[in-house]
């Protein structure tokens, strides 16, 4: 399997660490709520298109969101997590 790192180009699977569905990057605001429960514990297991997180640990340290199909294994898109939704991002410090 090959992943296209937006910074390094096409790289072998073994350079990356898998981290699961990319909804984990959508952090709710505020204190404990149902939304937090969803974030931590509830994951879809789709047969088809899915977005998940990969860390280019043996490369440039970029976190990458990968769109791939769990049925065909086709990878349709990869993008930097940091550039995913610039408007919606930014944690409250």
Residues that bind another protein (CB under 8 A): 1-2, 12, 17, 19, 24-25, 27-28, 30-33, 36, 39-40, 53, 55, 57, 61-63, 73-75, 80-84, 86, 89-93
CB of 37 to another protein, least distance (A): 9
CB of 9 to another protein, least distance (A): 12
Separation of alpha carbons 27 and 16, rounded Å: 23
Closest residue by Cα to residue 40 from 17, 20, 63, 11? 20
Count of all residues that appear for the chain in the document: 93
């Amino acid at each position: 399997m090959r992943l296209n790192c937006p910074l390094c180009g096409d790289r072998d699977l073994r350079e990356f660490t898998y981290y699961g569905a990319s909804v984990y990057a959508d952090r709710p605001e505020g204190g404990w709520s149902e939304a937090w429960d969803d974030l931590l514990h509830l994951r879809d297991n789709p047969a088809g298109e899915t977005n998940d997180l990969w860390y280019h640990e043996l490369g440039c340290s970029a976190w990458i969101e990968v769109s791939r199909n769990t049925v065909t294994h086709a990878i349709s898109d990869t993008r930097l997590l940091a550039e995913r939704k610039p408007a919606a991002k930014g944690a409250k410090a």
